Amino acid sequence: MDDELNVTYVTLGGHVEVDKYRYLYFVILFTVYILIICSNSTIVYLIWIHQNLHEPMYIFIAALLINSVLYSTAIYPKLLIDFLSEKQIISYSACLFQFHVFYSFGGSEFLLLAAMSYDRYVSICKPLQYPTVMRKTTVCIFLLLAWILPASQVAVPAGLSANKKLCSFSLKGIFCNNTVYKLQCVVSREQIIHDMIILLNVALLPMLFILFTYTRILIISYRSSGEVRRKAAQTCLPHLIVLINFSCLCAYDVITVQLESDFPKTVRLLMTLQIIMYHPLFNPIIYGLKMREISKHLRRLFCPAKIR
């Protein structure tokens, strides 16, 4: 009983007229969540059952789509419960856990995209070395690092925040992102430096690496035959589109937090929803439409009569 009394609760104050529109919010977000799960899972299933898709490029795509589902699952179930609840509250410990999971999978996204860019670089620029470089062991190491590194690094600020003194118990958001820092009385300089190091490790450096590899691919493709250029365009363009989209949404997340007081509540809610809705739905659409082998299997799955 004493433990229950000592639990610190945080109010999620970013909802707009939830009493009036709770069922509309619930239906829309529940539909989006189901679409996210179904669309991503369908492509992962196709990659799993078709032997010709058991290549590093498609394995990384499957990992990216699984990451999108996990990323969404960190947000949507709690969000759906809040829409049907009288009070939109969360314990401070659960809030920090959501913060940790949200940014861990966000960091994993960048590292998975970096692994995919390296795979494309070796495939297009060093095709003779590809079988020896991109072995199963290499792929497994990349996947483990992509999930373990961000989770272990983000665990530090989440753990440090657990012992911080709080001067506010209300967030201006609908879930726990880096707005949790605004609850603390003082954000130390060491904490800011550590967060900058995490940002550098799991976002900026992978992004620079991706840009470097795709620049090399473009240079070599331009000097090569039309077949090489076509292969580069077919496999690299979807990855670049996903990278640009996710990078913009990450910048969006930082901007909405830093400028939250300058936005009307409704605008802030709409901007936050875009962060959690677009990307998990965008990935399967891009890879389903732009990757020829996946697109072919999708047509066979949903239109078998036409294919025959």
- Residue 261, C-beta contacts closer than 8 angstroms, at least 6 positions apart: 172
Tell me how many degrees the CA angle 98-99-103 measures, rounded to the nearest 5.
115
Which of 67-76, 121-130, 266-275 is least confident? 266-275
Most distant CA atoms of the chain, gap in Å: 73
Start-to-end CA span in the chain (Å): 66
Between 4 and 80, name the one with better pLDDT: 80
Give 251's pLDDT tier (boundaries 50, 70, 90).
confident
Between 10 and 225, name the one with better pLDDT: 10
Q: What are phi and psi of 9, to 5 degrees?
A: -110, 145
Mean pLDDT of 118-135: 89
- Residue 304, C-beta contacts closer than 8 angstroms, at least 6 positions apart: none
The pLDDT of residue 256: 63
pLDDT tens per residue, range 35-61: 999 999 999 999 999 888 889 989 999
pLDDT tens per residue, range 158-211: 888 888 888 888 888 888 888 888 888 887 788 888 888 888 888 889 989 988
Q: Is the pLDDT of residue 1 over 50?
A: no
Q: Where are the domains of the chain?
A: 7-307
* Helical packing angle, 92-125 and 226-258, nearest 10°: 160
Report the mean per-residue pLDDT for the chain: 83
Q: Is the pLDDT of residue 2 over 50?
A: no
Give 139's pLDDT tier (boundaries 50, 70, 90).
very high
Between 116 and 259, name the one with better pLDDT: 116
The residue type found at 1 is M
Give 4's pLDDT tier (boundaries 50, 70, 90).
very low
- Of the candidates 122, 11, 132, which has an alpha carbon nearest to the alpha carbon of residue 60? 122
pTM of the model: 0.87
The residue type found at 74 is A
User: How far is Cα 217 from Cα 237, in angstroms, rounded to an integer?
Assistant: 11
Give 5's pLDDT tier (boundaries 50, 70, 90).
very low
Mean pLDDT of 101-110: 91
Q: Is the pLDDT of residue 227 over 70?
A: no
Q: Report the share of the chain in percent with pLDDT over 70.
A: 89
Domain 7-307 has CATH 3.40.190.170: no
Mean pLDDT of 11-21: 84
pLDDT tens per residue, range 257-300: 666 556 677 777 777 787 788 888 888 888 777 777 888 878 87
Give 226's pLDDT tier (boundaries 50, 70, 90).
low
User: How far is Cα 133 from Cα 198, in angstroms, rounded to an integer?
Assistant: 28
The pLDDT of residue 247: 79
